[in-house]
């Protein structure tokens, strides 16, 4: 029985993909590293430093750990400045309607995001006080596909992991949900995952799944 739904944030509740892309692209251009949408797709759900490692696969020089931290910080500075433009208009279709429907059924809702900017994003779009719990990149050291962020969310909600469903747009997130022994619901790019328990095209399709 599902008592809580844990949502990934980027690409499920809020559309931030294009801002991530622009910030990584600016960094890649500065370092003259090839970067495109396909590489960007591999960054979905993955932590900032792991994303940087994926981008640096195309670099023709090697970077020290300190240089890598500086690059990731630079990317984040660009990204955070872009996030100032975020508003309720960037909330993904039917996210608010789904949240309302789940609340009506007495189902708890949480965020389980790899991002260290999750709280800023939620504030920007006006959803900061909407969730019963927020677990994000500041709560864990191991990012998705490790289950940690979802387990922290369940713990904050005080709901057993086996009573939780996860909504994810990233393969890494679907794997993380299964590693957490939760029901994994895929949307967007994650629907390509063989591990997903359910696949939806629209967030509102989740209502009957968790009833």
Rg of the Cα trace of the chain? Answer: 17
Q: Are the C-beta atoms of 22 and 43 separated by less than 8 Å?
A: no
The answer to whether 160 is a known catalytic residue is no
145 binds Mg ion (CB under 5 A): no
Residue 163, binding choice from Mg ion, ligand BG6, none, Cβ under 5 to 8 Å by partner class: none
Of the pair 10, 148, the CB lying nearest Mg ion is at: 10
Beta strands in the chain (DSSP E): 4-7, 108-112, 133-135, 164-168, 183-187, 198-200
Q: How far is the CB of 23 from ligand BG6 (least distance, A)?
A: 9
Structure tokens at 81: 């400045």
Q: Give the residues lining the site for ligand BG6 (CB under 6 A).
A: 9-10, 20, 43-48, 51, 76, 113-117, 137, 170
Of the pair 49, 100, the CB lying nearest ligand BG6 is at: 49
The answer to whether 66 is a known catalytic residue is no
- Which single residue is written with the structure tokens 């490790």? 146
8 binds Mg ion (CB under 5 A): yes
Q: How far is the CB of 208 from ligand BG6 (least distance, A)?
A: 27
Q: Which DSSP category does 152 fall into?
A: H
HSE-CB at 5 with a 13 A cutoff on CA atoms is 25
Give the catalytic positions in this structure.
8, 10
């Amino acid at each position: 029985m599902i008592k809580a739904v844990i949502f990934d944030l980027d690409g499920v509740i809020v559309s931030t993909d294009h801002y991530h892309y622009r910030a990584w692209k600016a960094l890649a251009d500065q370092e003259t590293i090839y970067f495109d949408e396909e590489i960007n797709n591999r960054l979905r759900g993955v932590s900032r430093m792991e994303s940087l490692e994926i981008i640096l696969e195309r670099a023709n020089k090697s970077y020290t750990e300190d240089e890598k931290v500086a690059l990731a910080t630079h990317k984040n500075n660009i990204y955070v400045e872009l996030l100032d433009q975020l508003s309720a208009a960037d909330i993904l279709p039917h996210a608010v309607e789904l949240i309302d429907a789940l609340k009506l059924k007495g189902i708890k809702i949480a965020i389980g995001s790899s991002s260290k900017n999750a709280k800023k994003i939620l504030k920007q779009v006006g959803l900061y006080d909407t969730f019963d719990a927020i677990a994000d990149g500041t709560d864990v050291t191991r990012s998705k596909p490790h289950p940690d962020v979802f387990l922290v969310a369940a713990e904050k909600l005080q709901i057993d992991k086996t009573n939780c469903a996860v909504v994810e747009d990233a393969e890494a997130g679907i794997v993380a949900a299964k590693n957490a022994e939760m029901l994994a619901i895929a949307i967007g790019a994650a629907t390509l995952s063989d591990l997903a328990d359910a696949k939806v095209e629209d967030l509102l399709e989740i209502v009957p799944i968790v009833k």
